[in-house]
Amino acid sequence: MRYIIYFITGFILLLLLTWSTNIDHLIAGAAVVLVGTVLFGGYFTDRPLKFLQLHRIVVFAIYVPIFVWYMVKANIDVAYRALHPERPIKPGIVKIRTTLKTDIARVFLANSITLTPGTMTCDIDGDILYIHWIWVQSEDLEEASRIIASRFEVFLRRIFE
């Protein structure tokens, strides 16, 4: 089942990339996507159909603009630190604990943390994430988890779990 979903997704992506319905393109593309499916389909998520549920898509659509806003804020923050004459940084690696359970949700959490203000994921070990923080506000595990992760977990739990 998940191989079929993977094939369809890959084929749609290929159609968007080539942007042509020429029969040669379709046949060659289908062959390439088939090879990709056989090789990598096993790594695909277990229950792909649950990502088509309407409420997940709605929450995702809300999440994207909020995420872009955090990204813009992160960039202004880094630009400020880079341009400030005294270079105000106080870096360190802190631990946080996530409440998310599935792997894919944790991957998205780690990526979101990397792209948002001053924080960057070094490693994931079970439910512990190691975060490089450019301006350490708290070394405490619970406090740091609340500052860094909770604002994304609210959304990601509804999208991926």
Partner 1 sequence: MISAIGWIIIWIGVLFDVLGAIGLVRFPDVYNRLQASTKCVTLGTFGIMVGIFMIHGFSAMGIKALICGAFLLLTNPVAAHALMKGSLHFGVKMWKGTIVDNYGKDKLGSEQIERGGG
Residues that bind partner 1 (CB under 8 A): 13, 16-20, 71-72, 74-75, 78-79, 81-83, 87, 89-95, 110-111, 114-115, 118, 120-123, 130, 132, 134, 136, 139
The residue among 46 and 139 lying less far from partner 1, judged by its C-beta, is: 139
Rg of the chain in Å (alpha carbons): 20
Nearest residue (CB) to partner 1, 42 versus 88 = 88
| Residue 143 C-beta: closest distance to partner 1, Å | 13
CA distances from 112 to 6, 77, 81 (A): 24, 16, 20
* Distance of closest approach, residue 106 Cβ to partner 1, in angstroms: 12
Give the orientation angle of helix 54-83 with respect to helix 150-160, to 10 degrees: 150
- Tell me the HSE value of 161 on the side-chain side, using a 13 A CA sphere: 16
Task: Report in angstroms how near the CB of residue 47 gets to partner 1 at its nearest.
Answer: 20
Taking the CB of residue 52, how many other CB atoms lie within 10 A of it?
9
When the beta carbons of 1 and 40 are compared against partner 1, the nearer one is 40
